[in-house]
Structure 1
Protein backbone atom coordinates (compact mmCIF):
# COMPACT_ATOMS: atom_id res chain seq x y z
CA UNK A 1 0.00 0.00 0.00
CA UNK A 2 1.37 3.40 -1.03
CA UNK A 3 0.66 6.47 1.09
CA UNK A 4 0.83 10.08 -0.09
CA UNK A 5 0.10 13.54 1.25
CA UNK A 6 -0.97 16.27 -1.19
CA UNK A 7 -0.91 19.99 -0.49
CA UNK A 8 -3.29 22.83 -1.32
CA UNK A 9 -4.99 22.36 -4.70
CA UNK A 10 -6.79 25.74 -4.96
CA UNK A 11 -8.81 25.02 -8.06
CA UNK A 12 -5.91 23.62 -10.11
CA UNK A 13 -7.94 20.77 -11.60
CA UNK A 14 -5.56 20.12 -14.49
CA UNK A 15 -2.60 19.75 -12.13
CA UNK A 16 -4.59 17.41 -9.88
CA UNK A 17 -5.66 15.23 -12.80
CA UNK A 18 -2.09 14.85 -14.05
CA UNK A 19 -0.73 14.24 -10.55
CA UNK A 20 -3.24 11.50 -9.77
CA UNK A 21 -2.58 9.85 -13.13
CA UNK A 22 1.17 9.90 -12.43
CA UNK A 23 0.69 8.27 -9.02
CA UNK A 24 -1.29 5.37 -10.55
CA UNK A 25 -3.26 4.81 -7.35
CA UNK A 26 -4.85 1.47 -6.54
CA UNK A 27 -7.71 0.55 -4.26
CA UNK A 28 -5.37 -0.06 -1.29
CA UNK A 29 -3.43 3.17 -1.72
CA UNK A 30 -4.06 6.10 0.61
CA UNK A 31 -3.96 9.83 -0.12
CA UNK A 32 -4.21 12.51 2.57
CA UNK A 33 -5.23 15.94 1.31
CA UNK A 34 -4.41 18.96 3.48
CA UNK A 35 -7.36 21.19 2.53
CA UNK A 36 -7.97 24.29 0.37
CA UNK A 37 -9.44 22.56 -2.65
CA UNK A 38 -11.34 25.64 -3.80
CA UNK A 39 -10.68 29.31 -4.67
CA UNK A 40 -8.03 31.19 -6.66
CA UNK A 41 -7.40 28.57 -9.35
CA UNK A 42 -9.62 28.22 -12.43
CA UNK A 43 -11.66 25.06 -11.73
CA UNK A 44 -12.66 24.42 -8.13
CA UNK A 45 -15.67 22.43 -9.26
CA UNK A 46 -13.43 20.10 -11.26
CA UNK A 47 -11.17 19.59 -8.25
CA UNK A 48 -14.04 18.57 -5.98
CA UNK A 49 -15.44 16.23 -8.64
CA UNK A 50 -12.06 14.50 -8.94
CA UNK A 51 -11.75 14.08 -5.19
CA UNK A 52 -15.22 12.58 -4.88
CA UNK A 53 -14.41 10.18 -7.72
CA UNK A 54 -11.03 9.28 -6.22
CA UNK A 55 -12.71 8.43 -2.93
CA UNK A 56 -14.62 5.70 -4.73
CA UNK A 57 -11.43 4.12 -6.10
CA UNK A 58 -8.79 4.67 -3.40
CA UNK A 59 -8.55 5.53 0.27
CA UNK A 60 -8.95 9.29 0.66
CA UNK A 61 -8.56 11.33 3.85
CA UNK A 62 -9.49 14.94 3.14
CA UNK A 63 -8.86 17.70 5.66
CA UNK A 64 -10.70 21.00 5.87
CA UNK A 65 -8.92 24.21 4.90
CA UNK A 66 -9.79 27.81 5.66
CA UNK A 67 -11.14 28.30 2.14
CA UNK A 68 -13.69 25.53 2.63
CA UNK A 69 -14.68 27.24 5.88
CA UNK A 70 -15.27 30.50 4.04
CA UNK A 71 -17.25 28.83 1.26
CA UNK A 72 -19.51 27.02 3.72
CA UNK A 73 -19.96 30.15 5.84
CA UNK A 74 -21.34 31.95 2.79
CA UNK A 75 -23.20 29.17 1.00
CA UNK A 76 -24.64 27.35 4.01
CA UNK A 77 -24.83 29.93 6.78
CA UNK A 78 -25.56 33.03 4.71
CA UNK A 79 -22.63 35.11 5.94
CA UNK A 80 -21.40 38.15 4.04
CA UNK A 81 -19.42 37.05 0.98
CA UNK A 82 -17.09 40.04 0.59
CA UNK A 83 -14.05 38.55 2.36
CA UNK A 84 -14.44 35.19 0.63
CA UNK A 85 -14.78 36.74 -2.83
CA UNK A 86 -11.68 38.87 -2.27
CA UNK A 87 -9.80 35.75 -1.15
CA UNK A 88 -10.31 33.83 -4.38
CA UNK A 89 -13.97 32.93 -4.05
CA UNK A 90 -14.86 34.67 -7.33
CA UNK A 91 -13.02 31.97 -9.26
CA UNK A 92 -14.98 29.30 -7.40
CA UNK A 93 -18.31 30.97 -8.18
CA UNK A 94 -17.40 31.13 -11.86
CA UNK A 95 -16.47 27.44 -11.88
CA UNK A 96 -19.94 26.62 -10.57
CA UNK A 97 -21.68 28.51 -13.35
CA UNK A 98 -21.81 31.95 -11.74
CA UNK A 99 -23.79 31.20 -8.60
CA UNK A 100 -23.20 29.30 -5.36
CA UNK A 101 -26.77 28.05 -5.66
CA UNK A 102 -25.50 25.79 -8.45
CA UNK A 103 -23.12 23.88 -6.17
CA UNK A 104 -24.36 20.24 -6.23
CA UNK A 105 -25.54 18.65 -3.01
CA UNK A 106 -22.87 15.95 -3.38
CA UNK A 107 -20.23 18.68 -3.19
CA UNK A 108 -21.75 20.05 0.01
CA UNK A 109 -21.69 16.51 1.39
CA UNK A 110 -17.98 16.42 0.57
CA UNK A 111 -17.35 19.75 2.32
CA UNK A 112 -19.33 18.67 5.38
CA UNK A 113 -17.35 15.43 5.73
CA UNK A 114 -13.91 17.11 5.73
CA UNK A 115 -11.77 16.40 8.78
CA UNK A 116 -10.11 18.87 11.15
CA UNK A 117 -6.91 16.81 11.37
CA UNK A 118 -5.55 13.31 10.86
CA UNK A 119 -3.16 11.48 13.16
CA UNK A 120 -1.30 8.18 12.85
CA UNK A 121 1.28 6.43 15.02
CA UNK A 122 4.07 8.46 13.37
CA UNK A 123 2.45 11.51 11.79
CA UNK A 124 0.12 14.45 12.30
CA UNK A 125 -1.62 16.20 9.41
CA UNK A 126 -3.24 19.64 9.80
CA UNK A 127 -4.06 22.34 7.31
CA UNK A 128 -2.13 25.30 8.67
CA UNK A 129 -0.22 25.34 11.99
CA UNK A 130 -0.01 23.77 15.45
CA UNK A 131 0.86 24.47 19.07
CA UNK A 132 3.82 22.20 19.86
CA UNK A 133 2.74 21.78 23.50
CA UNK A 134 -0.90 20.78 22.94
CA UNK A 135 -2.39 17.48 21.81
CA UNK A 136 -3.70 17.71 18.29
CA UNK A 137 -7.31 17.40 19.44
CA UNK A 138 -6.84 20.43 21.74
CA UNK A 139 -5.50 22.80 19.09
CA UNK A 140 -7.03 26.23 18.60
CA UNK A 141 -8.95 26.61 15.32
CA UNK A 142 -7.07 29.84 14.59
CA UNK A 143 -3.88 27.78 14.39
CA UNK A 144 -5.41 24.74 12.72
CA UNK A 145 -6.99 26.65 9.84
CA UNK A 146 -5.71 30.22 9.56
CA UNK A 147 -2.17 30.77 10.87
CA UNK A 148 0.78 30.72 8.51
CA UNK A 149 4.06 29.16 9.53
CA UNK A 150 6.08 31.73 11.51
CA UNK A 151 9.78 32.48 11.37
CA UNK A 152 11.45 30.89 13.16
CA UNK A 153 9.46 27.75 12.49
CA UNK A 154 7.62 26.03 15.37
CA UNK A 155 9.52 23.42 17.33
CA UNK A 156 8.73 19.71 17.22
CA UNK A 157 5.35 18.59 18.47
CA UNK A 158 5.32 17.20 22.00
CA UNK A 159 4.22 13.81 20.64
CA UNK A 160 7.46 13.45 18.69
CA UNK A 161 5.46 12.91 15.51
CA UNK A 162 6.32 14.64 12.25
CA UNK A 163 3.72 17.26 11.32
CA UNK A 164 2.61 17.80 7.71
CA UNK A 165 0.98 21.15 6.89
CA UNK A 166 -0.27 23.13 3.92
CA UNK A 167 -1.56 26.73 3.89
CA UNK A 168 1.82 28.51 3.82
CA UNK A 169 2.86 28.75 0.15
CA UNK A 170 6.48 27.86 -0.59
CA UNK A 171 7.32 30.50 -3.21
CA UNK A 172 9.99 28.45 -5.01
CA UNK A 173 7.60 25.54 -5.50
CA UNK A 174 9.67 23.21 -3.33
CA UNK A 175 8.44 21.20 -0.35
CA UNK A 176 9.65 22.60 2.98
CA UNK A 177 11.62 19.82 4.70
CA UNK A 178 12.52 19.73 8.38
CA UNK A 179 12.98 16.63 10.55
CA UNK A 180 9.80 17.46 12.52
CA UNK A 181 7.82 19.50 9.99
CA UNK A 182 6.99 19.26 6.27
CA UNK A 183 5.25 22.07 4.36
CA UNK A 184 3.45 20.74 1.30
CA UNK A 185 1.77 23.87 -0.12
CA UNK A 186 4.00 24.48 -3.11
CA UNK A 187 1.97 27.33 -4.64
CA UNK A 188 0.38 25.65 -7.65
CA UNK A 189 -2.09 28.43 -8.46
CA UNK A 190 0.68 31.05 -8.25
CA UNK A 191 3.07 29.43 -10.69
CA UNK A 192 4.53 26.68 -8.51
CA UNK A 193 3.46 23.06 -8.26
CA UNK A 194 0.92 20.73 -6.73
CA UNK A 195 2.97 18.25 -4.70
CA UNK A 196 2.41 14.66 -3.60
CA UNK A 197 4.93 13.40 -1.03
CA UNK A 198 5.39 9.66 -0.63
CA UNK A 199 5.08 9.15 3.13
CA UNK A 200 7.29 6.08 3.12
CA UNK A 201 10.17 7.26 0.93
CA UNK A 202 9.92 11.05 0.89
CA UNK A 203 10.08 11.13 -2.91
CA UNK A 204 7.90 13.88 -4.35
CA UNK A 205 5.82 13.99 -7.53
CA UNK A 206 4.71 17.43 -8.71
CA UNK A 207 2.45 18.89 -11.40
CA UNK A 208 2.30 22.52 -12.47
CA UNK A 209 -1.01 24.23 -13.21
CA UNK A 210 -0.75 23.19 -16.86
CA UNK A 211 -0.46 19.53 -15.87
CA UNK A 212 3.24 19.03 -16.56
CA UNK A 213 4.82 16.45 -14.25
CA UNK A 214 8.21 16.51 -12.57
CA UNK A 215 9.59 14.04 -10.05
CA UNK A 216 11.78 15.20 -7.18
CA UNK A 217 14.11 12.53 -5.79
CA UNK A 218 14.50 12.03 -2.06
CA UNK A 219 18.09 13.29 -2.37
CA UNK A 220 16.78 16.85 -2.65
CA UNK A 221 14.88 16.50 0.63
CA UNK A 222 17.97 15.03 2.29
CA UNK A 223 20.02 17.94 0.99
CA UNK A 224 17.52 20.42 2.45
CA UNK A 225 17.69 18.66 5.81
CA UNK A 226 21.48 18.71 5.73
CA UNK A 227 21.55 22.45 4.98
CA UNK A 228 19.13 23.07 7.86
CA UNK A 229 21.33 21.04 10.20
CA UNK A 230 24.38 23.11 9.25
CA UNK A 231 22.43 26.31 9.87
CA UNK A 232 21.42 25.09 13.33
CA UNK A 233 25.05 24.40 14.15
CA UNK A 234 26.04 27.84 12.91
CA UNK A 235 28.42 26.50 10.32
Structure 2
Protein backbone atom coordinates (compact mmCIF):
# COMPACT_ATOMS: atom_id res chain seq x y z
CA UNK A 1 0.00 0.00 0.00
CA UNK A 2 1.30 3.45 -0.95
CA UNK A 3 0.15 6.91 0.04
CA UNK A 4 0.74 9.92 -2.17
CA UNK A 5 0.28 13.60 -1.35
CA UNK A 6 -0.71 15.61 -4.42
CA UNK A 7 -0.17 19.35 -4.71
CA UNK A 8 -2.30 22.16 -6.08
CA UNK A 9 -4.05 21.39 -9.39
CA UNK A 10 -5.78 24.65 -10.42
CA UNK A 11 -7.91 23.27 -13.23
CA UNK A 12 -5.02 21.40 -14.89
CA UNK A 13 -6.69 18.06 -15.57
CA UNK A 14 -4.15 17.08 -18.23
CA UNK A 15 -1.32 17.50 -15.73
CA UNK A 16 -3.18 15.59 -13.04
CA UNK A 17 -3.69 12.65 -15.40
CA UNK A 18 0.02 12.72 -16.19
CA UNK A 19 1.10 12.34 -12.57
CA UNK A 20 -1.46 9.62 -11.85
CA UNK A 21 -0.21 7.70 -14.87
CA UNK A 22 3.41 8.17 -13.80
CA UNK A 23 2.81 6.73 -10.33
CA UNK A 24 0.71 3.96 -11.90
CA UNK A 25 -1.96 4.48 -9.27
CA UNK A 26 -3.97 1.41 -8.20
CA UNK A 27 -6.98 0.73 -6.00
CA UNK A 28 -4.59 -0.24 -3.19
CA UNK A 29 -3.15 3.28 -3.00
CA UNK A 30 -4.32 6.26 -0.97
CA UNK A 31 -4.25 9.74 -2.50
CA UNK A 32 -4.25 12.83 -0.28
CA UNK A 33 -4.91 16.06 -2.16
CA UNK A 34 -3.89 19.28 -0.38
CA UNK A 35 -6.44 21.52 -2.09
CA UNK A 36 -6.93 24.14 -4.81
CA UNK A 37 -8.51 21.92 -7.44
CA UNK A 38 -9.93 24.86 -9.37
CA UNK A 39 -9.03 28.28 -10.80
CA UNK A 40 -6.36 28.88 -13.38
CA UNK A 41 -6.54 26.53 -16.34
CA UNK A 42 -9.66 25.77 -18.35
CA UNK A 43 -10.72 22.42 -16.86
CA UNK A 44 -11.71 23.17 -13.28
CA UNK A 45 -15.20 21.68 -13.48
CA UNK A 46 -13.74 18.72 -15.34
CA UNK A 47 -11.16 18.21 -12.57
CA UNK A 48 -13.94 17.99 -9.98
CA UNK A 49 -15.94 15.60 -12.15
CA UNK A 50 -12.86 13.40 -12.56
CA UNK A 51 -12.05 13.43 -8.84
CA UNK A 52 -15.60 12.40 -7.98
CA UNK A 53 -15.25 9.43 -10.28
CA UNK A 54 -11.74 8.62 -9.03
CA UNK A 55 -12.91 8.54 -5.40
CA UNK A 56 -15.31 5.73 -6.26
CA UNK A 57 -12.37 3.50 -7.21
CA UNK A 58 -9.49 4.67 -5.00
CA UNK A 59 -9.24 5.84 -1.40
CA UNK A 60 -8.97 9.63 -1.70
CA UNK A 61 -8.82 12.42 0.86
CA UNK A 62 -9.66 15.87 -0.49
CA UNK A 63 -8.54 18.81 1.66
CA UNK A 64 -10.12 22.19 1.05
CA UNK A 65 -8.06 25.11 -0.31
CA UNK A 66 -8.88 28.80 -0.51
CA UNK A 67 -9.82 28.63 -4.18
CA UNK A 68 -12.16 25.77 -3.37
CA UNK A 69 -13.87 27.92 -0.73
CA UNK A 70 -14.47 30.65 -3.32
CA UNK A 71 -15.82 28.16 -5.86
CA UNK A 72 -18.03 26.56 -3.21
CA UNK A 73 -19.55 29.94 -2.34
CA UNK A 74 -20.23 30.64 -6.01
CA UNK A 75 -21.90 27.26 -6.54
CA UNK A 76 -24.06 27.78 -3.45
CA UNK A 77 -25.00 31.43 -3.81
CA UNK A 78 -23.83 32.47 -7.28
CA UNK A 79 -21.69 34.97 -5.40
CA UNK A 80 -18.82 36.13 -7.60
CA UNK A 81 -16.08 37.27 -5.25
CA UNK A 82 -14.13 39.98 -7.14
CA UNK A 83 -10.78 38.73 -5.83
CA UNK A 84 -11.66 35.21 -6.87
CA UNK A 85 -12.79 36.33 -10.31
CA UNK A 86 -9.44 37.99 -10.98
CA UNK A 87 -7.42 35.01 -9.69
CA UNK A 88 -8.82 32.20 -11.77
CA UNK A 89 -12.52 32.42 -10.96
CA UNK A 90 -13.46 33.54 -14.45
CA UNK A 91 -11.89 30.44 -15.96
CA UNK A 92 -13.69 28.25 -13.44
CA UNK A 93 -17.04 29.84 -14.18
CA UNK A 94 -16.44 29.33 -17.90
CA UNK A 95 -15.55 25.67 -17.33
CA UNK A 96 -19.03 25.03 -15.91
CA UNK A 97 -20.68 25.97 -19.18
CA UNK A 98 -22.85 23.01 -20.17
CA UNK A 99 -22.99 21.47 -16.69
CA UNK A 100 -26.50 20.80 -15.40
CA UNK A 101 -27.88 22.12 -12.12
CA UNK A 102 -27.78 18.58 -10.74
CA UNK A 103 -24.11 18.23 -11.63
CA UNK A 104 -23.36 21.58 -10.00
CA UNK A 105 -25.18 20.41 -6.85
CA UNK A 106 -23.00 17.31 -6.76
CA UNK A 107 -19.90 19.47 -7.02
CA UNK A 108 -21.17 21.77 -4.27
CA UNK A 109 -21.69 18.78 -1.98
CA UNK A 110 -18.17 17.62 -2.82
CA UNK A 111 -16.72 20.96 -1.72
CA UNK A 112 -18.91 21.14 1.40
CA UNK A 113 -17.73 17.73 2.58
CA UNK A 114 -14.01 18.49 2.26
CA UNK A 115 -12.10 18.52 5.56
CA UNK A 116 -9.82 21.44 6.40
CA UNK A 117 -7.01 19.10 7.43
CA UNK A 118 -6.20 15.42 7.77
CA UNK A 119 -4.10 13.71 10.45
CA UNK A 120 -3.03 10.14 9.70
CA UNK A 121 -2.22 7.24 12.04
CA UNK A 122 1.47 8.15 12.05
CA UNK A 123 0.76 11.71 13.22
CA UNK A 124 1.43 13.26 9.81
CA UNK A 125 -0.61 16.37 9.13
CA UNK A 126 -1.97 17.42 5.74
CA UNK A 127 -3.56 20.80 5.08
CA UNK A 128 -3.66 23.43 2.39
CA UNK A 129 -1.89 26.38 3.97
CA UNK A 130 -1.13 26.58 7.68
CA UNK A 131 -2.28 27.39 11.20
CA UNK A 132 -1.17 29.77 13.93
CA UNK A 133 -2.01 28.10 17.23
CA UNK A 134 1.04 26.90 19.16
CA UNK A 135 -1.18 24.08 20.45
CA UNK A 136 -1.84 22.60 17.01
CA UNK A 137 -4.70 22.46 14.55
CA UNK A 138 -7.36 21.37 17.04
CA UNK A 139 -6.89 24.63 18.97
CA UNK A 140 -6.87 26.90 15.90
CA UNK A 141 -9.41 29.67 16.43
CA UNK A 142 -9.45 31.14 12.94
CA UNK A 143 -10.38 28.28 10.61
CA UNK A 144 -9.58 30.44 7.57
CA UNK A 145 -5.91 30.00 8.46
CA UNK A 146 -6.10 26.38 7.33
CA UNK A 147 -6.46 27.57 3.73
CA UNK A 148 -4.98 31.09 3.82
CA UNK A 149 -2.11 31.22 6.34
CA UNK A 150 1.43 31.54 4.97
CA UNK A 151 3.21 32.25 8.26
CA UNK A 152 3.72 28.55 9.05
CA UNK A 153 5.73 28.09 5.87
CA UNK A 154 7.55 31.42 6.18
CA UNK A 155 8.56 30.55 9.76
CA UNK A 156 9.84 27.13 8.68
CA UNK A 157 11.94 28.63 5.89
CA UNK A 158 13.62 31.09 8.22
CA UNK A 159 14.12 28.67 11.11
CA UNK A 160 15.38 25.90 8.83
CA UNK A 161 18.70 27.73 8.37
CA UNK A 162 19.24 28.52 12.02
CA UNK A 163 18.11 25.68 14.31
CA UNK A 164 17.83 21.91 14.51
CA UNK A 165 15.09 19.80 16.06
CA UNK A 166 16.92 19.57 19.39
CA UNK A 167 17.05 23.33 19.83
CA UNK A 168 14.89 24.85 22.59
CA UNK A 169 13.87 27.43 19.98
CA UNK A 170 12.38 24.81 17.61
CA UNK A 171 8.89 26.23 16.83
CA UNK A 172 6.33 24.81 19.26
CA UNK A 173 3.44 24.80 16.84
CA UNK A 174 5.04 22.20 14.60
CA UNK A 175 6.32 19.92 17.37
CA UNK A 176 2.90 18.28 17.59
CA UNK A 177 3.33 16.46 14.29
CA UNK A 178 5.79 14.03 12.79
CA UNK A 179 5.54 15.74 9.40
CA UNK A 180 3.36 18.37 7.76
CA UNK A 181 2.45 18.47 4.07
CA UNK A 182 1.12 21.71 2.57
CA UNK A 183 0.39 23.51 -0.68
CA UNK A 184 -0.82 27.10 -1.21
CA UNK A 185 2.57 28.87 -1.53
CA UNK A 186 4.25 27.89 -4.82
CA UNK A 187 7.85 26.72 -4.53
CA UNK A 188 8.42 28.59 -7.80
CA UNK A 189 8.13 31.78 -5.73
CA UNK A 190 11.53 30.77 -4.33
CA UNK A 191 13.05 29.74 -7.64
CA UNK A 192 12.44 26.02 -7.07
CA UNK A 193 10.53 23.71 -9.39
CA UNK A 194 10.53 20.76 -6.98
CA UNK A 195 9.04 20.26 -3.50
CA UNK A 196 10.85 22.04 -0.69
CA UNK A 197 11.48 20.62 2.78
CA UNK A 198 11.94 23.01 5.70
CA UNK A 199 12.11 21.61 9.25
CA UNK A 200 9.42 18.90 9.26
CA UNK A 201 7.27 20.61 6.62
CA UNK A 202 7.01 19.57 2.97
CA UNK A 203 5.68 22.13 0.49
CA UNK A 204 4.37 20.28 -2.58
CA UNK A 205 2.76 23.21 -4.43
CA UNK A 206 5.14 23.43 -7.38
CA UNK A 207 3.41 26.26 -9.20
CA UNK A 208 0.73 24.54 -11.29
CA UNK A 209 -1.38 27.70 -11.24
CA UNK A 210 1.35 29.58 -13.07
CA UNK A 211 4.26 28.19 -15.11
CA UNK A 212 5.03 25.19 -12.91
CA UNK A 213 3.94 21.59 -12.49
CA UNK A 214 1.70 19.32 -10.45
CA UNK A 215 3.58 17.09 -8.02
CA UNK A 216 2.67 13.74 -6.44
CA UNK A 217 4.92 12.63 -3.57
CA UNK A 218 5.15 9.24 -1.88
CA UNK A 219 4.93 10.36 1.75
CA UNK A 220 7.00 7.43 3.03
CA UNK A 221 9.90 7.44 0.58
CA UNK A 222 9.68 11.13 -0.44
CA UNK A 223 10.08 10.09 -4.06
CA UNK A 224 7.95 12.23 -6.33
CA UNK A 225 6.77 12.58 -9.89
CA UNK A 226 5.78 15.73 -11.73
CA UNK A 227 3.71 16.72 -14.72
CA UNK A 228 4.95 18.80 -17.59
CA UNK A 229 4.81 22.54 -17.09
CA UNK A 230 1.18 23.56 -17.30
CA UNK A 231 1.66 26.19 -20.06
CA UNK A 232 3.04 23.40 -22.27
CA UNK A 233 -0.10 21.34 -21.69
CA UNK A 234 -2.40 24.32 -22.31
CA UNK A 235 -0.47 26.23 -25.01
CA UNK A 236 -3.40 28.45 -25.98
CA UNK A 237 -4.10 29.61 -22.44
CA UNK A 238 -2.43 31.88 -19.93
CA UNK A 239 -3.68 30.28 -16.70
CA UNK A 240 -2.93 32.77 -13.95
CA UNK A 241 0.11 34.09 -15.87
CA UNK A 242 -1.65 37.32 -16.64
TM-score range, shorter chain: 0.7 to 0.9
Cα deviation for residue 59 of structure 1 reads: 0.5
Q: Give deviations 1:156-206, integer Å, cap 9, x for gaps.
A: 613142111110011132101124100011001311110001011000110
Aligned equivalent of 1:144: 146
2:169 aligned with 1:169: no
User: 2:112 & 2:133 partners in 1: Cα distance?
Assistant: 28
2:61 aligned with 1:61: yes
- Mapped contact 1:173–1:188 kept (Cα < 8 A): no
Cα deviation for residue 148 of structure 1 reads: 2.0
Cα deviation for residue 103 of structure 1 reads: 5.4
- Mapped contact 2:13–2:46 kept (Cα < 8 A): yes
Aligned equivalent of 2:37: 37
Q: Compared with structure 1, are the counterparts of its residues 65 and 194 closer, same or farther at alpha carbon in structure 2 (3 Å cutoff)?
A: same
Q: Give deviations 1:62-91, integer Å, cap 9, x for gaps.
A: 001111111122221344532221121001
SS of the equivalent of 2:70 reads: helix
Cα deviation for residue 23 of structure 1 reads: 1.6
Structure 2 spans left out of the alignment, 5+ residues: 160-170, 234-242
SS of the equivalent of 2:60 reads: strand
RMSD over aligned Cα, in angstroms?
Answer: 2.2
Q: Give deviations 1:108-164, integer Å, cap 9, x for gaps.
A: 221121111000223001110123612222222232111224534273613142111
Q: TM-score, normalised by structure 1?
A: 0.82
- Mapped contact 2:75–2:104 kept (Cα < 8 A): no
Aligned equivalent of 1:5: 5
Structure 1 spans left out of the alignment, 5+ residues: 212-235
Q: TM-score, normalised by structure 2?
A: 0.80
2:204 aligned with 1:184: yes
For residues 63-212 of structure 1, what are the structure 2 equivalents within 5 Å?
63-97=63-97, 104-120=104-120, 121-131=122-132, 133-139=134-140, 140-149=142-151, 151-153=154-156, 155=171, 157-171=174-188, 172-208=192-228, 209=230, 210=232
- Mapped contact 1:131–1:157 kept (Cα < 8 A): no
User: 1:65 & 1:100 partners in 2: Cα distance?
Assistant: 24
- Mapped contact 1:4–1:197 kept (Cα < 8 A): yes
Cα deviation for residue 98 of structure 1 reads: 7.8
SS of the equivalent of 2:31 reads: strand
- Mapped contact 1:27–1:57 kept (Cα < 8 A): yes
Cα deviation for residue 19 of structure 1 reads: 1.0
